[in-house]
Structure 1
Amino acid sequence: MKRMTAPLLLALGAPALTLAGAAIAQQQTQSDLAKVQSYIRAVTTMTADFSQTDRNGQTLTGQLTLKQPGKIRFQYQKGVPLLIVGDGKALTVIDYEVRQVQRWPIGNSPLAALIDPSKDLSKFGKVVPTDDPAILSVQARDPRRPEFGTITMIFRRDAASPAGLQLYGWVALDSQNNRTAVRLTGQRYGVPVADSAFRWTDPRPRGRSAG
């Protein structure tokens, strides 16, 4: 039998190596998605400072409060008459300057991927490659409901944080391609958070406390 040359052996081996590499990459992707899922389920409460930048480059700051499942509050800096509250069922945007209230189910918002532990991230999330191995980026989008938008969550690997991850921030893109980037600092986990933190005052005529 004629002996195979080294180049031919390498050529024959290439598909197997490629398949092995793809399998390893797939396992790593599944592992990373599982870590993010574990993080979301492990974080019962969190507070943090945030800075929010919109598509026009305007940046606002404030305090974020989160309590699972589904409760979140964006308290903006002094002088900004805006409040965003998730009460476990709906996400509400209150503009006190124009006395306007907008409300929709949390499941219809990109934020649902972050504040709904019951969601199975493996079904609608994918790992986005980064140049830094210490950074894990996961994009979540429901392919059946593109109108709900997309969120790309950014984590820093940190053994001291829940599930070994520290939420660094996220980028949300709604169905109108409005891009909002949020960066977090001073994260604190497991702090006492009362349900009253997710109530708000209705600025409309005959307004009342809600939440």
Structure 2
Amino acid sequence: MTRLTQEPKTLRKSTLWKSFGKKSRAILAAGALATAVGLGALTSLTLLPSPATAQSNDQVSPEMVKKIEDYLAGITTLTADFVQISSDGGAAEGKLFMERPGKMRFEYNPPAQILLVATGHDFIYYDKEINAPTYIDIDETPAGIILAENISLTDKVRIVDYRRTAETIRVTLVRKSDPGAGSVTLVFSEKPMQLRQWIVTDPTGIETTVTLFNTKEGMQLDPELFKFERVWPQRGS
């Protein structure tokens, strides 16, 4: 995992995608970074029907691509509870807030000491325990796909797998500039259309799954949710 320092720094795109899946304390940190990058389901966790009647990616119609793009573009605000599971042993849960374009916040429940905030410019991973923020260019993360002002599943990314059942739509994406760096699978329910899960698979096969519950859209959110201010301990404390 990329070492998190006390001083802010920007991670390269390839570093972010390849940093998931280390052991011990880094497992949760890796999974936390992965929560911002895609939707999907591990077979052992799946809360949606498995893709028994799958279609291959060469059957993805332009109409379906546009349907997904239009749905994502139509999200103004979203809140949800989430559960995060990593195939190498990490687990956490918390609350997601999103405001398009560009803003997202993951609040992890204790004992996790992690906060993720996309401010509209930066994507910030904050380890509260050691007071160490890491700054990432949001345009260089897969989160930028969902949070972009102009949603596109064909511009900087490529659909490499498409599976549709009676109840779900799953699309797997890789970046055109670095297809070997890992993939992101977005999972939607179709009736009604709703973002349900995501899975990030790193180059070694480690998977991080985020499942959304109690999803609500279109509410007004406090602008303070998408601001980040580092908390410094007071002298003498």
TM-score under structure 1 length normalisation? 0.74
Q: Does 1:153 align with 2:181?
A: no
Q: Which residue of 2 aligns with 1:196?
A: 224
Q: Does 1:55 align with 2:55?
A: no
State which structure, 1 or 2, has the greater radius of gyration over its C-alpha atoms. 1
Q: Tell me how far apart the structure 2 counterparts of residues 175 and 88 of structure 1 sit (CA, whole Å).
A: 28
Q: Tell me how far apart the structure 1 counterparts of residues 103 and 188 of structure 2 sit (CA, whole Å).
A: 20
1:6-155 correspondence runs (5 A) = 28-123=60-155, 124-126=157-159, 128-130=161-163, 132-146=165-179, 149-155=182-188
Change (3 A) 1:179 1:77: same
Report the structure, 1 or 2, having the larger helix content.
1
Q: Tell me how far apart the structure 1 counterparts of residues 149 and 171 of structure 2 sit (CA, whole Å).
A: 15
Q: Tell me how far apart the structure 1 counterparts of residues 84 and 200 of structure 2 sit (CA, whole Å).
A: 11
Structure 2 counterpart of 1:76, one-letter code: Y
Shift of 1:132: 2.1
Structure 1 counterpart of 2:171, one-letter code: V
Structure 1 residues 48-67: Cα deviation after superposition (integer angstroms, max 9, x where no partner): 00001123232101000000
Shift of 1:111: 1.6
Q: Residues 33 and 138 of structure 1 are in contact (CA less than 8 Å); yes or no, is this contact kept in structure 2?
A: no
Q: Structure 2: which 5+ residue stretches go unaligned?
A: 1-56
Alignment match of 2:215 (pick from 187, 198, 202): 187
Change (3 A) 1:138 1:129: closer
Q: Tell me how far apart the structure 2 counterparts of residues 177 and 107 of structure 1 sit (CA, whole Å).
A: 24
Q: Does 1:166 align with 2:199?
A: no
Q: Tell me how far apart the structure 2 counterparts of residues 152 and 36 of structure 1 sit (CA, whole Å).
A: 13
- Higher mean Cα deviation, 174-183 or 101-110? 174-183
Q: Segments of 4+ in structure 1 off by > 6 A?
A: none
Higher relative contact order (CA 8 A, sep 6+): 2
Structure 2 counterpart of 1:135, one-letter code: T
Change (3 A) 1:149 1:92: farther
Question: How many residue pairs get matched?
Answer: 177
Q: Secondary structure at the match of 1:37?
A: helix
TM-score under structure 2 length normalisation? 0.67
Paired-residue identity, %: 24
Q: Structure 1: which 5+ residue stretches go unaligned?
A: 1-24, 160-164, 207-211
Structure 2 counterpart of 1:136, one-letter code: I
